[in-house]
Amino acid sequence: MSTFSLKKSYKIIKRPDYLKIDRDGSKFRTKNFIILYLRNSASHSRFGVTATKKIGGAVQRNRVKRLIKEFFRLNQHCFKRPTDFIFIAGKGSINLGYAEVRDELLSALSKKGMLRALHVNSC
């Protein structure tokens, strides 16, 4: 069970890290999210989540953050190479369940060639 745990080192917390990914990284959009990414030199991928007040109150924002954290925790082994990700939640994301978040993000990351598995459902 410990292989699915999420250590603190897997989170992007510091503002300079966010700014570096925004400045030097690439970005693409899905229906409900904007994903920024930049390859890193660490041994594992890291993630950060941004949910502004535009999408809803604190309860809705925190729920979206928990869903993305759970997605990353369960699928961190699927990434081809260590990458820093920032997931920016859009307005429509507050109405999504976990399965919809998972399907949308796996589909988008698969199309970008960032996942190990050829078949999205195998992750």
Question: Where are the domains positioned within the chain?
Answer: 2-122
For position 117, what pLDDT does the model report?
64
d(CA 111, CA 36): 15
Looking at the predicted structure, is the pLDDT value of residue 44 above 70? yes
Model confidence band, residue 57 (pLDDT cutoffs 50, 70, 90): very high
Residue type for 95, please?
N
Are 12 and 18 in contact, with CB atoms under 8 Å apart? Answer: yes
Residue 6 pLDDT: 81
State pTM to two decimals: 0.88
**pLDDT value at 37 more than 90:** yes
Average pLDDT, the chain: 90
Per residue in 69-89, pLDDT (tens digit) is 999 999 888 888 899 999 999
Dig out the tokens for 118 from the structure.
């050829």
CATH code for 2-122?
Answer: 3.30.230.10
Instruction: Say how far apart CA 57 and CA 40 lie, in whole Å.
Output: 33
What DSSP string runs through the chain? -GGG---GGGB--SHHHHHHHHHHSEEEE-SSEEEEEEE-SSSS-EEEEE--GGG--HHHHHHHHHHHHHHHHHHGGGBSS-EEEEEEE-GGGGG--HHHHHHHHHHHHHHTT-BS-SSGGG-
pLDDT at 90 over 80: yes
d(CA 83, CA 100): 23
